[in-house]
A and B are shown apart, each in its own frame.
Chain A
Amino acid sequence: MGHFASFADFLQMGKHGLYVWLSYGIGLFVILYNILSVYWDRRQFFKQAKRRLKRESKSI
């Protein structure tokens, strides 16, 4: 498989498995965080805006 002789070799990354996988794990976490925060932000806006619209239509 590519540069590595076996899958175990790939996981081990020479002596550097911990460092490489930790970096990629944190990288994935930051990417997912960015994506999720967009969703949360958008959902929160629509919820609040909807509530306000309802309130305003009642008071008129």
Chain B
Amino acid sequence: MKIKFPRWFYRLASPRWFYDITSKLLPWFTIIAFLLIVIGTIWGLVFAPADYQQGNSFRIIYIHVPTAILAQSCYMLMAVAGAVGLIWKIKIAHIIAKSCAPIGASMAVLALVTGAIWGKPTWGAWWVWDARLTSMLVLFFLYVGVIALTSAYEHVASGDKAAAVLALVGVVNIPIIKYSVEWWNTLHQGATFKITEKPAMPPDMWIPLLIMIIGFYCFFAVILMSRARTEVLRRENRSDWVKSLVERY
């Protein structure tokens, strides 16, 4: 059976269309990301009250939680984009998947490092081989694997395919990260935000956290679009519109 998509769907898949639309979106996302992260950081560092058990070390949450969430969302996007690329052979999907990997890896590192720094005063150890921490480390290695596979082939399409398959297999790790704090006995505390419940902290603590999470998502969008744009240029360098861009540079 051949599925027919509306015309805009195919336009969406065109690298040039992507390049044009993102040049309009980028400034807005940049401004919003900047404002939200600045407001969230100041609110979280200066105005949020200290935790009654953890004192001021809890302020690490404003980096740790947004980056940990983002590392996982970025992985899901990378896997979905990889699948779309595999099934419908859409160029831009592979470009997005490839651009996700280094950003996700950096977010996973940041979540792991801030977690370690937070763990020292809270648990008395930088690192424990606990389910949550270990599955997060596996996430980082999956990103590294995807990055390595993408560039391991001389033929771009082969690298894209191999990386997409690895990304899809690695999706298994995402529910493990999410439920690790419930399935296993763990040092790591449970989720801060749940859709069904009110957060177990005062608004002065969770509002800046929410602001930081949205801010980091916008920041991710900015970096992802920018990386994907350069990748579009690289892969379309034979086309006239890219040549004229290069000439004007």
**Residues of A with Cβ closer than 8 Å to B?**
1-4, 10, 13-17, 19-20, 22-24, 26-27, 30-31, 33-35, 37-38, 41-42, 45-46, 49-50, 52-53
Contact = CB atoms under 8 A, between A and B. Distances in A.
B86 to A, nearest CB: 25
B237 A49 contact: yes
A1 B121 contact: no
B227 interface: yes
Given A16-B56, A38-B226, A23 B117 contact: yes
Contacts, number: 96
Q: Do most interface residues of chain A lie in helix, strand or loop, or is the interface mixed?
A: helix
Interface residues of B, number: 42
B219 interface: yes
A13 B37 CA distance: 20
Contact of B41 (A24, A37, A42, A50): A24
B128 interface: no
Given A3-B49, A4-B46, A13-B56, A19 B117 contact: yes
B246 A38 contact: no
A58 B37 CA distance: 49
A34 B110 CA distance: 12
A46 B248 CA distance: 10
B233 A49 contact: yes
A45 B242 CA distance: 11
A46 B246 contact: yes
Interface in B221-236: 223, 226-227, 229-230, 233-234
